[in-house]
Amino acid sequence: MSTVSEVFLIFLHIQIIFWCWIPSTISIKISPCARWNTTGEIVAGLGGRGNNPDQLREPEGIFIHRQTNTLYVSDTGNDRIQVFTLNQLSSMGTTVIVNVTYPTKIYVDDDNDGQTIYVSVRNEDRVKKWVKGAPDGVQVGGECLMCESVWVDKEKNVYMTSVTKHCVYKWSPQTNITTVAAGREFGQGSGSDSLNSPEGIYVDNTSGTVYVADYANHRIQKWLKNALNGTTVAGFSTGDQGSDAESLSYPTTIWVDDETQVVYVADSDNNRIQRWLPNAFMGDTVAGGTGWGDKLNQLDQPVDLAFDNDGNLYVCDRSNDRVLKFRIIHNEPCLPLPTTSTGSLSLIF
Ligand SMILES: *[C@@H]1O[C@H](CO)[C@@H](O)[C@H](O)[C@H]1NC(C)=O
Ligand SMILES: *[C@@H]1O[C@H](CO)[C@@H](O)[C@H](O)[C@H]1NC(C)=O
Ligand SMILES: *[C@@H]1O[C@H](CO)[C@@H](O)[C@H](O)[C@H]1NC(C)=O
Ligand SMILES: *[C@@H]1O[C@H](CO)[C@@H](O)[C@H](O)[C@H]1NC(C)=O
Ligand SMILES: *[C@@H]1O[C@H](CO)[C@@H](O)[C@H](O)[C@H]1NC(C)=O
């Protein structure tokens, strides 16, 4: 091989590494005061309800694999998991898992040998994982009756929500033991030690804090690692339901910004995505909230949400059989308050 072509190959190689690495290393910080275009674009489900590649049927969950900029959709009504590349937008999904009965939420983890897909499978009362290349999924952890959600932390602990047992379980791969991480087994209630039909979860990667959408209590609870009680970070701690800025109605899941602790809520029965800043007593609407419907600024049972590397918001719009993308249009820091008497600058957070 001539030196010239060798140099060219090295150059090409560097280019490939460059293009493969760029999306994985850049992930913008989302300002607690960011805004998104209130008109969405359909990125999955353009063909409406059905089982063709461009269609979905009542999807329950989405996950964005940031390293590859790929959207995974739990196409619940079609018993399959669909994948859409976000690099070149195409309305056609590829099926990566079939015959999974009532898949709810998805978590995609990076393992040394490729992506591992975890799915909470409601009709099988368990979480299953599919490692790259394997035709079948295998169960992880113990039983998860009416399993509604799954999450994985840095240490590969798997968290899963059982609606009928009113708690979140945590399975440790080191010990092969499943313990309760939030709520009490069969402890349905609205006290701070209880949950009522919990659904989506988000686990802070470094602290192990579990955030739970406490569905039938219309609130979002935060459970510190090994805590026996939770605290409310969105909605009323008393479990009261409503549609104003202070309230939520059947929240199905959350996304939490690890750095700012801002909580984004899929407020499903209010057909809106709410943002709650730390210690706030009310939230604001970042998508939907314009009444139930199928226009591009409306939602019909938003049940999951995610962000891509550029800070764009994706919403799993269940009863409209689609996933909408809301582009970030403003990402300025929050307005600084006048300096205090001590001269320090505080921020409206
Ligand atoms: C929002 O999106 C719509 C439709 O794509 C577009 O027409 C409009 O200009 C966008 N608005 C802003 C503020 O970017
Ligand atoms: C999926 O299920 C259908 C119906 O039970 C069956 O015909 C098909 O072979 C299954 N496909 C796979 C890949 O298991
Ligand atoms: C959690 O950390 C792992 C390992 O650093 C990373 O692969 C994963 O993407 C992180 N998850 C989230 C939601 O940030
Ligand atoms: C882990 O525990 C389950 C039951 O709780 C058991 O069926 C399985 O064999 C165990 N796995 C290992 C590797 O010990
Ligand atoms: C935990 O919750 C229970 C039930 O609401 C309550 O009685 C108890 O005082 C709480 N404990 C703490 C430490 O907050």
Can you tell me which residue has the tokens 């590397």?
309
User: Considering the chain, what is the average pLDDT of its residues?
Assistant: 90
β pairing state of 158-162 and 147-152: antiparallel
β pairing state of 126-130 and 114-121: antiparallel
pLDDT at 348: 45
Q: What is the pLDDT of residues 184-201, one digit of tens each?
A: 999 999 999 999 999 999
The CB of 282 under 6 Å from ligand 2? The reply is no
The atom of ligand 1 lying closest to the CA of 296 is 4
pLDDT at 146: 98
- Farthest CA pair distance, the chain: 75
pLDDT at 237: 97
pLDDT at 15: 43
Q: Find the radius of gyration of the CA atoms of the chain.
A: 21
Mean pLDDT of 135-162: 96
pLDDT at 16: 42
For residue 338, what pLDDT band results from cuts at 50, 70 and 90?
low
- Tell which CATH architecture fits domain 40-348: 6 Propeller (2.120)
Cα 197 from Cα 287, distance rounded (Å): 25
Can you tell me which residue has the tokens 């939230």?
283
Q: What is the pLDDT of residues 255-275, one digit of tens each?
A: 999 999 999 999 999 999 999
Answer whether 261's CB lies under 8 Å from 255's CB: no
Give the DSSP letter of residue 57. Answer: S
pLDDT at 332: 94
- The rounded percent of the chain whose pLDDT value lies above 70 is 89
- From ligand 4's centre to the CA of 211, what distance in Å? 27
Structure tokens at 133: 């290349």
pLDDT at 24: 45
Mean pLDDT of 272-289: 97
Asked whether residue 6 carries a pLDDT value surpassing 90, the answer given is no
Asked whether residue 4 carries a pLDDT value surpassing 80, the answer given is no
330 CB-contact burial (10 Å; exposed 0-12 / middle 13-18 / buried 19+): exposed
Which protein residue's CA is at the shortest distance from atom 6 of ligand 1? 39
For residue 301, what pLDDT band results from cuts at 50, 70 and 90?
very high
- Of 318, 312, 321, 342, residue with least CA distance to 37: 312
Structure tokens at 117: 């897909």
Mean pLDDT of 64-87: 95
Can you tell me which residue has the tokens 């059947």?
250
Cα 131 from Cα 280, distance rounded (Å): 40
Asked whether residue 58 carries a pLDDT value surpassing 80, the answer given is yes
pLDDT at 337: 58
Which protein residue's CA is at the shortest distance from atom 4 of ligand 4? 142
Find the residues whose C-beta lies inside 6 A of ligand 1.
37, 39, 329
Which protein residue's CA is at the shortest distance from atom 2 of ligand 2? 99
Specify which residues 304 forms β-bridges with: 316
Specify which residues 11 forms β-bridges with: none
Torsion, CA 95, CA 99, CA 103, CA 109, rounded to 10: -50
Residue 154 — left, alpha, or beta (φ > 0 → left; ψ -120 to 50 → alpha)?
alpha
Can you tell me which residue has the tokens 């505080």?
346
Cα 61 from Cα 56, distance rounded (Å): 12
